[in-house]
Amino acid sequence: MKYVDANQVQKKMGSRLFANNLAKGLFLIATLFGLVVLVTLIYRVYSDSIGWIDFQFISSKLSTDAERAGILGAISGTLWLMVVVAPVTMFLGVGTAIYLEEYARNGKLKSIIQTNISNLAGVPSVVFGILGLTVFVRSFEFGNVVLAGGLTMSLLVLPIVVVASQEAIRAVPQYLREASYGMGATKWQTIKNIVLPAAIPGILTGLILSLSRAIGETAPLVVIGIPALLIPLPDGIFDKFTVLPMQIYYWTVDSALVAEYANLAAATIVVLLIVLFLMNSIAIIIRNKFQNRF
Protein backbone atom coordinates (compact mmCIF):
# COMPACT_ATOMS: atom_id res chain seq x y z
CA MET A 1 0.00 0.00 0.00
CA LYS A 2 1.39 3.39 -1.04
CA TYR A 3 1.28 6.38 1.27
CA VAL A 4 1.20 10.05 0.30
CA ASP A 5 4.64 11.57 0.52
CA ALA A 6 4.20 14.95 2.16
CA ASN A 7 7.57 16.18 0.89
CA GLN A 8 6.73 15.37 -2.72
CA VAL A 9 3.36 17.05 -2.37
CA GLN A 10 5.01 20.15 -0.89
CA LYS A 11 7.50 20.31 -3.76
CA LYS A 12 4.76 20.14 -6.39
CA MET A 13 2.44 22.55 -4.57
CA GLY A 14 4.31 25.62 -5.78
CA SER A 15 4.09 24.68 -9.47
CA ARG A 16 0.43 23.73 -9.12
CA LEU A 17 -0.44 27.03 -7.47
CA PHE A 18 1.49 28.90 -10.17
CA ALA A 19 -0.39 27.02 -12.91
CA ASN A 20 -3.70 27.70 -11.16
CA ASN A 21 -2.98 31.43 -10.81
CA LEU A 22 -1.77 31.61 -14.41
CA ALA A 23 -4.96 29.97 -15.70
CA LYS A 24 -7.11 32.24 -13.54
CA GLY A 25 -5.25 35.29 -14.81
CA LEU A 26 -5.64 34.25 -18.46
CA PHE A 27 -9.37 33.67 -18.00
CA LEU A 28 -9.73 37.03 -16.27
CA ILE A 29 -7.88 38.78 -19.10
CA ALA A 30 -10.11 37.07 -21.69
CA THR A 31 -13.23 38.14 -19.78
CA LEU A 32 -12.03 41.72 -19.39
CA PHE A 33 -11.07 41.89 -23.07
CA GLY A 34 -14.56 40.84 -24.10
CA LEU A 35 -16.15 43.33 -21.71
CA VAL A 36 -13.90 46.18 -22.91
CA VAL A 37 -14.77 45.46 -26.56
CA LEU A 38 -18.49 45.27 -25.72
CA VAL A 39 -18.46 48.50 -23.71
CA THR A 40 -16.47 50.25 -26.45
CA LEU A 41 -18.95 49.18 -29.12
CA ILE A 42 -21.95 50.21 -27.04
CA TYR A 43 -20.37 53.57 -26.21
CA ARG A 44 -19.47 54.21 -29.86
CA VAL A 45 -22.96 53.33 -31.08
CA TYR A 46 -24.62 55.36 -28.33
CA SER A 47 -22.42 58.42 -28.89
CA ASP A 48 -23.06 58.35 -32.65
CA SER A 49 -26.82 58.06 -32.11
CA ILE A 50 -27.14 61.04 -29.74
CA GLY A 51 -29.44 63.65 -31.22
CA TRP A 52 -30.83 61.35 -33.91
CA ILE A 53 -33.35 59.26 -31.95
CA ASP A 54 -36.63 61.11 -31.54
CA PHE A 55 -40.29 60.66 -32.35
CA GLN A 56 -39.76 61.88 -35.91
CA PHE A 57 -37.08 59.22 -36.46
CA ILE A 58 -39.34 56.46 -35.14
CA SER A 59 -42.52 57.56 -36.93
CA SER A 60 -41.13 58.61 -40.33
CA LYS A 61 -40.63 56.56 -43.45
CA LEU A 62 -37.35 56.16 -45.30
CA SER A 63 -36.05 59.25 -47.08
CA THR A 64 -32.96 60.13 -49.09
CA ASP A 65 -32.65 63.19 -46.86
CA ALA A 66 -30.81 62.06 -43.71
CA GLU A 67 -32.49 64.74 -41.61
CA ARG A 68 -35.97 63.43 -42.47
CA ALA A 69 -35.23 59.69 -42.71
CA GLY A 70 -37.05 57.33 -40.34
CA ILE A 71 -37.41 53.64 -39.59
CA LEU A 72 -41.18 53.20 -39.38
CA GLY A 73 -41.13 50.88 -42.39
CA ALA A 74 -38.34 48.77 -40.91
CA ILE A 75 -40.11 48.50 -37.55
CA SER A 76 -43.36 47.52 -39.25
CA GLY A 77 -41.58 44.91 -41.39
CA THR A 78 -39.78 43.48 -38.37
CA LEU A 79 -43.06 43.08 -36.48
CA TRP A 80 -44.72 41.42 -39.48
CA LEU A 81 -41.74 39.06 -39.77
CA MET A 82 -42.20 38.03 -36.12
CA VAL A 83 -45.91 37.41 -36.80
CA VAL A 84 -44.82 34.62 -39.16
CA VAL A 85 -41.71 33.36 -37.36
CA ALA A 86 -43.16 33.06 -33.84
CA PRO A 87 -46.12 30.71 -34.48
CA VAL A 88 -44.36 28.63 -37.17
CA THR A 89 -41.30 28.12 -34.98
CA MET A 90 -43.31 27.41 -31.86
CA PHE A 91 -45.66 24.82 -33.37
CA LEU A 92 -43.07 23.03 -35.51
CA GLY A 93 -40.31 23.20 -32.91
CA VAL A 94 -42.35 22.10 -29.92
CA GLY A 95 -44.22 19.51 -31.98
CA THR A 96 -40.94 17.99 -33.18
CA ALA A 97 -39.59 17.92 -29.62
CA ILE A 98 -42.73 16.21 -28.31
CA TYR A 99 -42.55 13.56 -31.01
CA LEU A 100 -38.85 12.84 -30.43
CA GLU A 101 -39.12 12.69 -26.64
CA GLU A 102 -42.52 11.13 -26.09
CA TYR A 103 -43.46 9.12 -29.17
CA ALA A 104 -40.39 8.20 -31.24
CA ARG A 105 -38.78 4.88 -30.40
CA ASN A 106 -35.06 4.65 -29.90
CA GLY A 107 -33.64 3.50 -33.17
CA LYS A 108 -32.00 4.48 -36.42
CA LEU A 109 -34.74 6.88 -37.55
CA LYS A 110 -34.69 8.85 -34.31
CA SER A 111 -30.90 8.95 -34.36
CA ILE A 112 -30.88 10.31 -37.93
CA ILE A 113 -33.45 13.00 -37.09
CA GLN A 114 -31.59 14.00 -33.93
CA THR A 115 -28.25 14.17 -35.72
CA ASN A 116 -29.64 16.32 -38.54
CA ILE A 117 -31.27 18.74 -36.10
CA SER A 118 -27.98 19.15 -34.26
CA ASN A 119 -26.12 19.67 -37.54
CA LEU A 120 -28.63 22.28 -38.74
CA ALA A 121 -27.82 24.42 -35.72
CA GLY A 122 -24.28 24.89 -37.08
CA VAL A 123 -25.18 25.62 -40.71
CA PRO A 124 -24.28 29.19 -41.81
CA SER A 125 -27.30 31.46 -42.04
CA VAL A 126 -26.61 32.31 -45.69
CA VAL A 127 -27.31 28.66 -46.60
CA PHE A 128 -30.83 29.02 -45.20
CA GLY A 129 -31.18 32.14 -47.35
CA ILE A 130 -30.31 30.10 -50.45
CA LEU A 131 -32.84 27.45 -49.38
CA GLY A 132 -35.52 30.11 -48.86
CA LEU A 133 -34.75 31.67 -52.24
CA THR A 134 -35.03 28.30 -53.99
CA VAL A 135 -38.11 26.96 -52.21
CA PHE A 136 -40.27 29.85 -51.04
CA VAL A 137 -39.35 32.67 -53.42
CA ARG A 138 -38.99 30.74 -56.68
CA SER A 139 -40.60 27.28 -56.36
CA PHE A 140 -43.68 28.47 -54.44
CA GLU A 141 -43.54 31.83 -56.25
CA PHE A 142 -44.16 33.83 -53.10
CA GLY A 143 -41.62 36.48 -54.08
CA ASN A 144 -39.64 38.48 -51.53
CA VAL A 145 -42.61 39.06 -49.24
CA VAL A 146 -43.15 38.74 -45.50
CA LEU A 147 -44.28 35.10 -45.74
CA ALA A 148 -41.18 33.98 -47.63
CA GLY A 149 -38.88 35.85 -45.26
CA GLY A 150 -40.69 34.53 -42.19
CA LEU A 151 -40.58 30.91 -43.34
CA THR A 152 -36.89 31.24 -44.19
CA MET A 153 -36.06 32.68 -40.77
CA SER A 154 -38.20 29.98 -39.13
CA LEU A 155 -36.03 27.29 -40.72
CA LEU A 156 -32.96 29.12 -39.45
CA VAL A 157 -34.01 29.22 -35.79
CA LEU A 158 -36.02 25.99 -35.67
CA PRO A 159 -33.13 23.83 -34.32
CA ILE A 160 -32.75 26.16 -31.33
CA VAL A 161 -36.39 25.68 -30.33
CA VAL A 162 -36.30 21.92 -30.92
CA VAL A 163 -33.19 21.33 -28.81
CA ALA A 164 -34.32 23.63 -25.99
CA SER A 165 -37.80 22.08 -25.94
CA GLN A 166 -36.33 18.57 -25.88
CA GLU A 167 -34.17 19.44 -22.88
CA ALA A 168 -37.16 21.00 -21.10
CA ILE A 169 -39.40 17.96 -21.74
CA ARG A 170 -36.60 15.59 -20.75
CA ALA A 171 -36.16 17.45 -17.46
CA VAL A 172 -39.75 16.77 -16.36
CA PRO A 173 -39.56 14.07 -13.63
CA GLN A 174 -40.74 10.66 -14.73
CA TYR A 175 -42.82 10.17 -11.57
CA LEU A 176 -45.17 12.94 -12.74
CA ARG A 177 -45.92 10.95 -15.89
CA GLU A 178 -46.38 7.74 -13.93
CA ALA A 179 -48.75 9.44 -11.49
CA SER A 180 -50.81 10.71 -14.42
CA TYR A 181 -50.95 7.27 -16.00
CA GLY A 182 -51.91 5.83 -12.61
CA MET A 183 -54.91 8.16 -12.53
CA GLY A 184 -56.08 6.76 -15.86
CA ALA A 185 -54.91 9.55 -18.15
CA THR A 186 -53.94 8.79 -21.73
CA LYS A 187 -50.51 9.59 -23.15
CA TRP A 188 -51.71 12.79 -24.86
CA GLN A 189 -53.60 13.91 -21.75
CA THR A 190 -50.41 13.40 -19.74
CA ILE A 191 -48.36 15.40 -22.23
CA LYS A 192 -50.94 18.20 -22.45
CA ASN A 193 -51.77 18.53 -18.76
CA ILE A 194 -48.55 17.46 -17.02
CA VAL A 195 -45.47 17.51 -19.25
CA LEU A 196 -46.00 20.69 -21.26
CA PRO A 197 -46.98 22.95 -18.32
CA ALA A 198 -43.91 21.79 -16.40
CA ALA A 199 -41.66 22.27 -19.45
CA ILE A 200 -42.97 25.71 -20.43
CA PRO A 201 -40.11 27.70 -18.79
CA GLY A 202 -37.48 25.87 -20.83
CA ILE A 203 -39.56 25.99 -23.99
CA LEU A 204 -40.04 29.75 -23.65
CA THR A 205 -36.32 30.17 -23.13
CA GLY A 206 -35.63 28.46 -26.45
CA LEU A 207 -38.32 30.51 -28.17
CA ILE A 208 -36.83 33.74 -26.77
CA LEU A 209 -33.38 32.84 -28.07
CA SER A 210 -34.75 31.90 -31.48
CA LEU A 211 -36.75 35.11 -31.92
CA SER A 212 -33.78 37.17 -30.76
CA ARG A 213 -31.61 35.58 -33.43
CA ALA A 214 -34.28 35.90 -36.12
CA ILE A 215 -34.84 39.59 -35.44
CA GLY A 216 -31.11 40.33 -35.78
CA GLU A 217 -30.22 38.24 -38.84
CA THR A 218 -29.42 39.88 -42.18
CA ALA A 219 -27.71 37.35 -44.48
CA PRO A 220 -30.77 35.16 -45.30
CA LEU A 221 -32.87 38.23 -46.08
CA VAL A 222 -30.18 39.64 -48.36
CA VAL A 223 -30.06 36.36 -50.29
CA ILE A 224 -33.83 36.15 -50.85
CA GLY A 225 -33.82 39.74 -52.10
CA ILE A 226 -35.45 41.72 -49.29
CA PRO A 227 -35.05 45.40 -50.27
CA ALA A 228 -33.25 47.83 -47.99
CA LEU A 229 -35.01 50.80 -49.61
CA LEU A 230 -38.77 50.48 -49.16
CA ILE A 231 -41.10 53.39 -48.57
CA PRO A 232 -44.59 51.70 -48.52
CA LEU A 233 -45.51 50.00 -45.25
CA PRO A 234 -46.47 46.30 -45.36
CA ASP A 235 -50.12 45.55 -44.59
CA GLY A 236 -49.96 41.75 -44.58
CA ILE A 237 -47.80 38.69 -45.01
CA PHE A 238 -47.95 38.91 -48.82
CA ASP A 239 -46.49 42.42 -48.99
CA LYS A 240 -42.87 43.36 -49.58
CA PHE A 241 -41.04 44.52 -46.49
CA THR A 242 -37.73 45.49 -44.96
CA VAL A 243 -36.41 44.99 -41.43
CA LEU A 244 -34.20 46.83 -38.97
CA PRO A 245 -31.01 44.82 -39.71
CA MET A 246 -31.42 45.48 -43.44
CA GLN A 247 -31.84 49.19 -42.75
CA ILE A 248 -28.68 49.16 -40.63
CA TYR A 249 -26.84 47.33 -43.41
CA TYR A 250 -27.94 49.83 -46.05
CA TRP A 251 -27.03 52.92 -44.01
CA THR A 252 -23.69 51.43 -42.94
CA VAL A 253 -22.66 50.65 -46.53
CA ASP A 254 -23.70 54.10 -47.79
CA SER A 255 -22.14 55.99 -44.89
CA ALA A 256 -19.03 56.36 -47.08
CA LEU A 257 -21.08 58.55 -49.41
CA VAL A 258 -23.24 60.37 -46.83
CA ALA A 259 -21.59 60.75 -43.44
CA GLU A 260 -24.92 61.24 -41.64
CA TYR A 261 -25.95 57.69 -42.59
CA ALA A 262 -23.50 56.40 -39.97
CA ASN A 263 -25.48 58.28 -37.32
CA LEU A 264 -28.74 56.88 -38.70
CA ALA A 265 -27.28 53.35 -38.58
CA ALA A 266 -26.16 53.87 -34.96
CA ALA A 267 -29.60 55.17 -33.99
CA THR A 268 -31.24 52.17 -35.64
CA ILE A 269 -28.90 49.81 -33.76
CA VAL A 270 -29.97 51.41 -30.48
CA VAL A 271 -33.64 50.96 -31.40
CA LEU A 272 -33.01 47.32 -32.35
CA LEU A 273 -31.25 46.69 -29.02
CA ILE A 274 -34.18 48.26 -27.16
CA VAL A 275 -36.66 46.08 -29.07
CA LEU A 276 -34.62 42.96 -28.24
CA PHE A 277 -34.40 43.99 -24.60
CA LEU A 278 -38.16 44.54 -24.34
CA MET A 279 -38.93 41.24 -26.07
CA ASN A 280 -36.62 39.31 -23.80
CA SER A 281 -37.87 41.09 -20.68
CA ILE A 282 -41.52 40.33 -21.43
CA ALA A 283 -40.73 36.70 -22.26
CA ILE A 284 -38.59 36.29 -19.13
CA ILE A 285 -41.43 37.65 -16.98
CA ILE A 286 -43.83 35.13 -18.54
CA ARG A 287 -41.28 32.34 -18.10
CA ASN A 288 -40.69 33.18 -14.44
CA LYS A 289 -44.44 33.28 -13.81
CA PHE A 290 -44.83 29.73 -15.12
CA GLN A 291 -41.67 28.63 -13.33
CA ASN A 292 -43.06 29.77 -9.99
CA ARG A 293 -46.34 28.07 -10.74
CA PHE A 294 -44.87 24.69 -11.65
The C-alpha atoms of residue 215 and residue 121 are separated, in whole angstroms, by 17
The C-alpha atoms of residue 33 and residue 47 are separated, in whole angstroms, by 21
Please tell me whether residue 94 adopts helix, strand or coil conformation: helix
- CB-CB contact of 102 with 190 (8 Å): no
The C-alpha atoms of residue 202 and residue 171 are separated, in whole angstroms, by 9
**pLDDT one-digit tens code per residue, 153-206:** 999 999 889 988 998 898 888 888 888 888 888 888 888 888 888 888 888 888
Could you count the other beta carbons within 10 Å of the beta carbon of residue 104?
15
| Per-residue 3-state assignment (H helix, E strand, C coil) for 130-196 | HHHHHHHHHHCCCCCEHHHHHHHHHHHHHHHHHHHHHHHHHCCCHHHHHHHHHCCCCHHHHHHHHHH
Look up residue 191 and give its amino acid.
I
Q: Does the reported pTM lie above 0.75? A: yes
**pLDDT one-digit tens code per residue, 109-137:** 888 888 888 888 778 888 888 989 898 98
